[in-house]
Amino acid sequence: MNPSSPDGTGQAPQPTWWIEAWSSQITTGLALFLVLCGVLTTISFFTPVCIIAGILQLLASGIILSIEAPSFVPFLAFARPIGMFVEGKPHWFKAAFYGALALIPFVIGVGLGCFGFFFILGFLANLAIAGLYGKLLLGRKAERDDMRFQAGADGQPYSPTSP
């Protein structure tokens, strides 16, 4: 127990509290970066097959922004119903949905032979969005004593001196 904790509960704040508090803003920032990567992939003059992959990345970023941005940018009122629909969904749904949005442009782009730098960077940004909600799905790590108790055999708590 730490009586000087900021929340007054006596427990120190968890190291990943900022992921839960800022998940929508982080997702919006990564989606804006995905827009940039999608535009640069689309206008790539050296590989014209990347145009389709870039357009798919732009569509994926548009979907992500329409879901996450209304909580971050209040003047996007037209996208609020979409965001409200997905807002109540569990984290596994968001992780799977954003993972599919990452894989569809990647599979089609690689199938067409697009291996551009900004295409791969956009895929990684999109994958980071899915990973963020995957991290939220896993949740926080248990306390040390709880983990030791669970590691014990036959319902007995773990003890380094037990036979």
DSSP string, 59-104: HHHHHHHHHHGGGT-TT-GGGHHHHHHHHTS-HHHHHHHHHHHHHH
What is the pLDDT, as a whole number, of residue 80?
Answer: 74
31 part of a folded domain: yes
- What is the pLDDT at residue 102? 92
Query: Is 92 contained in some domain?
Result: yes
- Is residue 3 in a domain? no
Task: Please report which confidence band the pLDDT of residue 5 belongs to, taking 50, 70 and 90 as the band edges.
Answer: very low
Task: List pLDDT tens digits, range 66-82.
Answer: 888 776 666 667 777 77
Sequence-ordered list of residues with C-beta below 8 angstroms from that of 1, at least 6 positions apart, any chain: 10, 11
User: Rounded distance, CA 62 to CA 126, Å?
Assistant: 12
Q: What is the pLDDT of residue 133?
A: 87
Instruction: Please state the domain count of the chain.
Output: 1
Torsion over CA: 118, 119, 124, 129 (sign): positive
In this predicted model, what pLDDT tens digit does every residue of 142-156 receive, in sequence order? 777 777 676 665 666
pLDDT band at 60 (very low <50, low <70, confident <90, very high): very high
- Backbone φ, ψ for residue 16 (5° rounding): -110, 25
Helix axes 91-112, 50-68, angle to 10 degrees: 170
The answer for residues whose C-beta is within 8 angstroms of residue 118's C-beta and 6 or more apart is 36, 37, 40, 41, 44
Average model confidence (pLDDT) across the chain: 79
Full domain range(s) for residue 101: 17-139
Report the distance separating Cα 48 and Cα 135, nearest Å. 36
Q: Residue 3 has what pLDDT?
A: 45
How many residues are given for the chain? 163
pLDDT tops 80 at residue 118: yes
| The model's pTM | 0.73
